[in-house]
Chain A
């Protein structure tokens, strides 16, 4: 049975050459000459200082095995060490460290199940600069298995995403590259004329308008709790209408389709390419990518000698040198993939002649530092690019004890030109990344 999608005709699929200077939306972006972007690459189950910390501070930092893939790009990648997740400080649960990874509300009683880290930094930024792009932000993942909170838990939402639109409103990642591709490029019908495409787009919006009007009407007859649920729906309809228009204005060449049914490695590659495309075409400026959910059970059996699952190794290293070695191999693989993404961003240039990496601040983060005992401090992050915002790369930056991890997100908001007012509770100001 074939899939025909003729009512849905977005304009983003004309297969025209990519012309950044022709993007009409540029005029609407903030005060920067080129758009600024940010990306968070998530490695689950901890990123341990003990395995990665360079002994050299500043430039020319030494690369231990897990960080070796940085070498070819070292001048554009930094290590941020000794950061402290204050929001999660009392109680080291996976889900608590997740809610506060990009969120910054102090969690005073994790036992209550209220692990509300608040609106996450990517979503705070999405609410302003996200309005410039068809997708205010993207949440990507791999759908790898993980250990669910279980039958007694109502905190499962914190495992699967690092992006929250607001307290209790998780934005779960899409794990199928083809679905992500279709969101950007679906709907082309080569047989239609320009006028027909426009007419059909108007029809598509007209239907959404009509549904919106009926829903708003229905809401007046519902109780408060039901109405709130439908508020999420109506705001989704409005976002879709904006997206249809924004996609119509955007002309960008579609890359090859990634296909479905990819394995873990294939998904990481495909998502990497989609992230580059999404930035290059200006589909979005904010991305979080979960290579696995927190407690991920990914089997890295394609790495030499690794046979156990990731979560198991994140604990087993403490009692087994072989497991420690496997965990380091996993880090090495993840860092290599992150560096691959940064390298691809370095390989494309914008209309100002700058490469995309310099206008994109990329972070490599995990919910924990030490993984056997679930320490949310100290945590070690990697950071790449962003030089267009004055960020100086190529350094191991070791921060003073107790420096909030969320200070890195204040720096990110500064980089993006987004006012941090109203976001977070434990940060104390931006990190010094510009000297």
Chain B
């Protein structure tokens, strides 16, 4: 390894690392002086926000953003303006999305309940695994499945009717799995020896889907079989008649679906204000109307003309980006106007676009004062749309999204299933909701000895569970060594390898995400070098021996001791008395000279660490502003941290301090290049 890299690593890892934000040479601020608000380039609406905005503007259930090219992540977030780029594919898919959303809004066809059916041996039926025709019209599945694709015209609730019976094997009746696109929607034990109809209710979306009947746990004996006659898929059970509800709200002047030019002139400024997050100028309204006229000249229907004008608004940079105008003249900073403040607030709290009330507050000047901004923030956070803070800010920060794309090795963890992972994600969200939505102080995220469990998690945690008390229950974890976040199976699993827990991953996550003291990546030829072999020594001893030298310890002494305190939790989050090799777990360690005894000791050390509150401020600041934290932000970060600490470490106080900061309410202009 070259020497300069070694020095860089040493420098990066010595002791508690300093943050860029704390290195402010002046060491303080003058309250009367405005801070340099920093700059960020034009922020593209990301894929998640696109879908949320579409939901809020049109009430649509379409989620076109899910298929946009993945957004660039920077520092763990997908809304960092400088990192987000626009490719030609984005533009192409934005156009498709606008067409789809508006197509739905203006669609006046009445849906009807349709029936799709297939008989064994019918066209398009696919057989996989082991099976045979049975009694001429039936098909017996011994192993695998039969499936058929149907192209669903209207989405909604469907009834899937499978005509089937079971043939007893040596030990048991067979169980039939009914799947849509490979996902099990219902499992039924077939103890009937005569064919009978089984009806399963499922939500099905428009488009092509594979409907499948499979045998669960094939036994290999050629007697036990799921025997199928036919399958029928019928829906939507509640077809929509006429235009969607959003149409009447957006185009009230043409309930008959024939918006005249006069009606368009009425509607466009109102809808335009919502779409562009500010009132349109006269010139802009004229432009939108000119689109109506262009379509009119091409002999489109009135509804198509208005749709065309709407499409123009949705394909404009004012919709697809958050445009903030620079100040006139030579000024390098400007106070945002109310609409720009509203736009930033809606992006931060709702991952969306301002609603009428927020735009009205902008118009009235309410958002020009810190008190007005605070009042709107209160309203917005208590609105259900505030859940975006949990989904997107906490979801990315606290590994919920990461968990959802993780799976475990089912040989090592035979009880693991995607359903269990979904339960873990729900628990994690409920726990994080306490801090991000319900006013509970930051410390509790780490110290609380209660958690939320369903039957699956209760089984995993060996906690009592009474099904009569509801699907999800808040329970005490006292005596189980489960403290807040670090006791949740979801977090423990997200920061594990697929077949074993990882002290390094868990420790590194804590350093990066709670203390903002990230170690640099491992040097050349190092990653993955630790190999664990069953040679008479515990996993921990082997790992410690292999990273024992002074060089490795520079960084690992910061990460690993934190992780070792959680060594008693397997990759699936269950408690374990011994490690992968069968040696007793040792979960005490020493970190920065402090002895930590198990999870409780580590939690105490983290909560007491002065870096924690500031780090939480930095992460939230970064997400709220859509830009990275600079050294120059030091004084602002300090002052926000002080507010946060003085107000009981509540997220509400933190959010208030951020949205009333100069960074949030002002805009800096980059130096001319």
Contacts and interface: CB of A to CB of B under 8 A. Distances in A.
B90 A236 contact: yes
A239 B298 CA distance: 24
A233 B317 contact: yes
A229 B44 contact: yes
A222 B531 CA distance: 55
Interface in B401-448: 402, 405-407, 409-412
B317 A215 contact: yes
A307 interface: yes
Given A160-B70, A169-B87, A259-B208, A111 B96 contact: no
Interface stretch (A151-159, A383-391, A422-430): A151-159
Interface residues of B, number: 110
B548 interface: no
Contacts of B85: 168-170, 232
Interface in A118-168: 139, 143, 145-146, 148-154, 156-157, 160, 165, 168
A73 to B, nearest CB: 26
B606 to A, nearest CB: 16
B88 A1 contact: no
Contacts of A307: 409-412, 499
Interface stretch (B97-105, B363-371, B375-383): B97-105
B75 A4 contact: no
A218 to B, nearest CB: 6
Q: Which of B5, B73, B155, B307 has the most chain A CB within a 10 Å cutoff?
A: B73
B155 A309 contact: no
A261 B183 contact: yes
Given A4-B109, A151-B513, 18 more contacts: A2-B111, A8-B96, A169-B85, A171-B87, A172-B69, A172-B89, A173-B69, A174-B89, A178-B208, A223-B326, A224-B670, A226-B41, A236-B92, A307-B499, A312-B409, A373-B525, A373-B528, A373-B529
A351 interface: no
A188 interface: no
A372 interface: yes
Contacts of A28: none
Contact of B87 (A165, A168, A301): A165
Contact of B311 (A157, A199, A207, A226): A207
7 contacts: A145-B407, A149-B73, A150-B76, A210-B287, A221-B325, A307-B412, A315-B527
B231 interface: no
Interface in B42-67: 42, 44, 60-62, 66-67
A354 interface: no
Interface in A187-230: 199-200, 202-203, 206-208, 210-211, 214-215, 218, 221-226, 228-230
Contacts of B300: 203
Contacts of A169: 85, 87
B61 A1 contact: yes
A301 B413 CA distance: 13
B312 interface: yes
Q: Which of A178, A223, A257 has the most chain B CB within a 10 Å cutoff?
A: A223
A1 B317 contact: no
B86 A236 contact: yes
Interface string A247-285: 000000000011111110010000000000000000000
Contacts of A258: 208
Contacts of B409: 307-309, 312
Given A152-B75, A223-B669, A228 B512 contact: no
A90 interface: yes
A111 B525 contact: no
A297 interface: yes
Contact of A152 (B41, B155, B208, B512): B512
A215 to B, nearest CB: 5
A203 B308 CA distance: 9
Contact of B407 (A183, A221, A309): A309
B320 interface: yes
B107 A2 contact: yes
A139 B182 CA distance: 26
Interface residues on A, range: 35 or more
Contacts of A151: 75-76, 397, 509, 512-513, 518, 619
Contacts of B326: 221-223, 226
Interface string A1-41: 11111111000000000000000000000000000000000
A312 B505 CA distance: 13
Interface string B129-150: 0000000000000000000010
A367 B542 CA distance: 30
A319 B534 CA distance: 10
Contacts of B2: 90
Interface in B520-534: 520-521, 524-525, 527-529, 531-533
A319 B533 contact: yes
Interface string A69-99: 0000000000000000000001111000000
A349 interface: no
A221 B669 CA distance: 13
B103 A372 contact: no
Contacts of A202: 298
A154 B532 CA distance: 31
A179 interface: yes
A237 B69 contact: no
A168 B85 CA distance: 9
A318 interface: yes
Contact of B499 (A240, A301, A308): A308
B207 interface: yes
Given A1-B154, A315-B528, A319-B532, A207 B308 contact: yes
B316 interface: yes
A288 B92 CA distance: 19
A186 B290 CA distance: 27
Nearest to A149: B73
B370 to A, nearest CB: 27
Contacts of B533: 319
B518 A236 contact: no
Interface string B305-317: 0011001100111
Interface in B649-671: 669-670
Contacts of B316: 211, 214-215
Contacts of A153: 73-76
A151 B509 CA distance: 8
Given A111-B5, A226-B42, A1 B69 contact: no
Contact of B498 (A156, A171, A236, A312): A312
Contacts of A243: 88, 92
B74 A154 contact: yes
A287 B127 CA distance: 33
B111 A211 contact: no
Given A145-B405, A207-B311, A223-B670, A259 B524 contact: no
Interface string A364-383: 00000000111000000000
B337 interface: no
Contact of B88 (A143, A214, A239, A374): A239
Contacts of A297: 405-407, 498
Q: Which of B74, B100, B317 has the most chain A CB within a 10 Å cutoff?
A: B317
A418 B409 CA distance: 46
Interface string A310-349: 0010111011000000000000000000000000000000
Top 6 nearest A-B pairs (CB, nearest first) are A145-B405, A319-B531, A236-B91, A152-B518, A259-B208, A315-B528
Contacts of A314: 528
Interface string B510-553: 00110000101100110111011100000000000000000000
Given A179-B67, A312-B498, A148 B320 contact: no
B369 to A, nearest CB: 27
Contacts of B180: 261
Contacts of B411: 307
B522 to A, nearest CB: 9
Nearest to B628: A154
A432 interface: no
